[in-house]
Amino acid sequence: MYWRELLMNKIFRLVKKLQIDKLLSMDKIVFVKGETYPFIDYFKGLERVKAVRQIFGKETEEVLRSLKVEFTWIGGYMWINSADGHLVVNSRYLKNGDRIDIYLDLIHELVHVKQFMEGKKLFDTNYNYTERPTEVEAYRHAVEEAKRLGLNDAQICQYLKTEWMSYEDLKNLAKTLNVKCA
Ligand SMILES: [Zn+2]
């Protein structure tokens, strides 16, 4: 299918840009829980990505330069450490996960990095996960980038679907984000 080829081309360009291949050869990393590394040593070129610049503006380079990343074997995909705001990534996900998913998750988490810097409460349990303003904002950035990459609504829906989200939640989130889920 034509769109798939187009999409793959885009992804490969993206992969090149992010140097994910380099990032995936991580045998040199000692997987000690809690150890953090400079984010830009593993995720390269993101400071040139428009979607990232839209999050941090002129401070993009500075923020990414000081951001730390931790690799772990526990937990889900990726999240922000609530104590100091560093990024935590599951190594298995990074190695085996869909590259578009990983890329969109990075965009999502970088929005949380910005929110953390602004002193916003990332884990506000007064809200349902899919209605939490910090989550909606993060998903908005990721979905916008997904659309820019050429993903259609069905593919974006697939991306949004996670095991901790009920069907109702997914429907609500999709509606909020103006994504049509069948
Ligand atoms: Zn989030």
Q: How far is the CA of 2 from the centre of ligand 1 (A)?
A: 32
Question: Which residues are CB-neighbours of 82 under 8 A, at least 6 positions away?
Answer: 122, 123
pLDDT tens digits, one per residue of 28-46: 444 445 789 999 999 988 9
Give me ligand 1 centre to Cα 47, in Å: 20
Q: Is the separation of the CB atoms in 172 and 131 below 8 Å?
A: yes
Q: pTM here?
A: 0.83
Q: Model confidence over 43-71: pLDDT tens digits?
A: 988 999 999 999 999 999 999 999 999 99
Query: Cα of 128 to ligand 1 centre, how many Å?
Result: 12
Q: Tens of pLDDT along 71-103?
A: 998 888 999 998 899 999 999 999 899 999 999
